[in-house]
Every structure is written in C-alpha cells, then in structure tokens.
Amino acid sequence: MRELFKRDVAAPVLSLIFFQSLTIMAMNAFGNAPDKVSSGYGIPESFTGIYTAICYLSALTFGLFTSAPLDRFGAVRCCQATLLVGALGMIIFTLATPWSFVLSAVMVGFAHGPMNPAGSFVIMRHTTSKWRPLLFSLKQTSIPIGGTLAGFLVPTLLIFTDWQATMLIIAVTMTIAAIIAQPFRDQTAPHHKKNRTQQKENIWAPIQLVFQKGPIRALSLAAFILIGCQACVVSFLVLYLVKEIKLELQWAGFIFGLAHGTSIVARIYLGILADRVVKTKTILGSCGVITGICFFLLAAFPAGGSFWLLCFLGIILGNANLGWVGLYFGEISKLAPNGKAAQVTAGSQIYAFGSFVLIPPIFTIFIEYMNNYAMGFFIVGLAGLAAGVRFLTIKY
C-alpha cells in the first residue's frame, strides 16, 4: 500500500483525475443544456450527438500522437498544455457560429486525448501488477466525476445565468486547474530527443499493436459496443428524460449526475474485486448484460413515471455502464508488450472509443427521422447485451 503514496505515483495520478474530470465536464456541457445551446445556435437539440462525436474524433486522433510527448515532457505537463487548449475551445463555443461549433469540439477533444495514455504511462511504469487494477479504476473515476459536475452544475448555473456564461465558467476552471497543478507535475519521464523516423513509428505503432494480439482485438471490439451504450447515456439521457419522460431540466441533470456520481464508487469497488475475487472479464461481461437490461427498462418507462424509480435505475445504469472502463484499460495494459502500455492504450482507445464518433451521429439521424427515443434505447440495449456476451467469451 505504501507504494501508492509515492510522489511519482500519487501526484501524477491525482493531477490526471483532476484534469480528466474537467475535460469530461466540458464535453458533457452541451448535453446538459440542450435546449439553451440549441436555441443559441439555431440547431436541433439532438445535435448534442454531433458535438460529442467531433470531440471524441479529435481526442482519438490526437491520442495517437501522445507517446513521444509523454516520453519527452512527462504525463502531467503534457496534459496541462492540452487543458489550456480545451479552455480556449470552451470560450470559442460561446460564439454560436457553425465554425465555432466544430472548432470548439476539436479543441475540447484535443484536451481529452492524452488523458488515458498518460494514465497508463504513469501506472505501468511506477506500480506493481498487484495494485494496477485499483489504480486504473481510481484514475478512471475522473470520467464519472466530470459527468457528475456536468449534471449537477450546468443545469444549476443555467438558473442564475445564460449558457454562454456557464461555458465561460468551465473555461476559467480548466485554466486555473492547469496552473495550480504545476507543482505536482511528475518528474519521472526521461528527457531525450527522438529522430523523425522514431516519431513516425510512435504515431502508427499504437494502431498496429492492437492487431498483434487476438485478445486485445477482441477486448477492443467488445468495448466499442459497450462504450456505444455509454455514448448514448452521455449524449441523450438528459434529452430523453426531458422530452419523453417529461422531467424538468434540473431533475434530468440530477439523474445524469447521480448516475455518474455513484459510478465513482463502482469504479473503486470493481477495481478492488477485479482479479482478486472475480475475473476482470467476468465483471466486464456482467456490466454489459446489466447495461442492456437498464436500457430496456428506460425504453419502456412511462412519461410521468416515478422519479425515485428513475433515480434507482440511474444508479444501476451508472454502476454497470460507467463503472467498468478502468478495468478495461487495466486488461489492455496487462496484455500489452513490455514497455508498450501507453501505446497499446492509445491504439485500443481508437477502436473502443471510436463508438463515441459513430454512435451519437447515427442515433441523431435515427431520432431526427424516426422521432422514437424508446426504439432507439431498445436497440442500444441489444448492443449492451451483445457486448456483455462477447466479454464473457474472450479467451486469454
């Protein structure tokens, strides 16, 4: 346990949790203020899915380029720089023009891109295998923390101010975070230059590494499907609760935040259980099955139904659909060749989180043409079940 409190481990991991939670809050801000932002831009509310897709396309693309900067400058320092870019993106978002919509999403995605590879970089270099599942889960609590902040704070801020001011507040917070984390940057990265050929290898190696081992490919495919369910929670849950279940925005945001908030605990207890009490892939499979059932229940939920039952369903969905990602990255890093954890993580997240690029726009098109959220959520539930079965049947 003492090794977890070493400065080379604790300071970078805590900083990355802080950073990633803010980038997630920024990426989820539109989804928690859909009517206000869509009115300001003059676009359909379902374009929350388009914004999310652009953010993740940017994050995954720039994530491929993180290996060399991480080696050169260290994990925290790289993320400090990209966080400032994300803050500028939130400022640009308030301009409410077509180009600001796209550019903002690209910049916020750029800020998020190095976060997962940076976590693998630190954890795999400076901890033993005994504590890695727990540390990966702890690091990934940043995702639900960010979602909780977005769900609780954005609708609340909108009561007192307009959506542009809300986005500016997020930008200021990201800037302050990048500055105050300076004393906690890690000092562990070797400082050396690499030639241009090596840089090209670093860029493309993450993609190639995923295909070199069958279990990594299989895990990435199953994660792609299950993260697609997560993309629908992030992009459309609040919108669905407001338009179809007839909740007020503040209460829909509360359920969104509740789902993310309770998944913080899930990521910790699942990290403790993984490979100590239950096999990690069994946990991943169970999360997929439960996610599918939750989406079926959401699809069948009546307008004006019990708010407390919705809260309970949000908690279960948060634990199952939002609580497993740290374990996934832990499995990927465990299967990676020695010294290649950051590269394999970057490559695997291209495939796994590619669903954030594909699924939200597809769901947006489905809603705009079919105008049937319940059917869309039912289809997503089927995908969750399929992902759970795939995780359970992977052999390694």
Q: 269 Cβ partners below 8 Å, 6+ apart?
A: none
Q: Is residue 192 part of a domain?
A: no
Q: What mean pLDDT is predicted for residues 350-371? A: 87
* Region for 141 from its dihedrals, namely left if φ exceeds 0, alpha if ψ lies in -120 to 50, beta otherwise: alpha
Counted domains in the chain: 1
User: Which among 340, 259, 97 is positioned nearest to 267, based on CA atoms?
Assistant: 259
| Residue given tokens 């925290």 in the structure block | 76
Longest dimension (CA), the chain: 62
Q: Is residue 190 part of a domain?
A: no
Q: Is residue 66 part of a domain?
A: yes
Going through the chain in order, the beta strands assigned E by DSSP cover none
Q: Is residue 188 part of a domain?
A: no
pLDDT of residue 218: 87
pLDDT at 341 over 80: no
pLDDT at 284 over 90: yes
Q: Is residue 191 part of a domain?
A: no
Expressed as residue numbers, the domain containing 314 is: 2-179+198-393
Alpha-carbon distance of 258 to 270, in angstroms, equals 18
Q: Is residue 155 part of a domain?
A: yes
Residue type (1 letter), 301: F
Q: What mean pLDDT is predicted for residues 1-6? A: 53
Alpha-carbon distance of 88 to 85, in angstroms, equals 5
Q: What percent of the chain lies above the pLDDT cut of 70?
A: 84
Q: Is residue 186 part of a domain?
A: no
- Contact call for residues 190 and 339 (beta carbons, < 8 A): no
Q: Is residue 193 part of a domain?
A: no
- Contact call for residues 72 and 189 (beta carbons, < 8 A): yes
φ, ψ dihedrals at 94, nearest 5°? -70, -10
CA 178 to chain centre: 19
> Degrees (nearest 5) of the Cα angle 157, 159, 165?
45
Higher-confidence position of 188 and 165: 165
Alpha-carbon distance of 237 to 321, in angstroms, equals 13
For the domain that residue 206 is a member of, what is the CATH number? 1.20.1250.20
Alpha-carbon distance of 283 to 77, in angstroms, equals 34
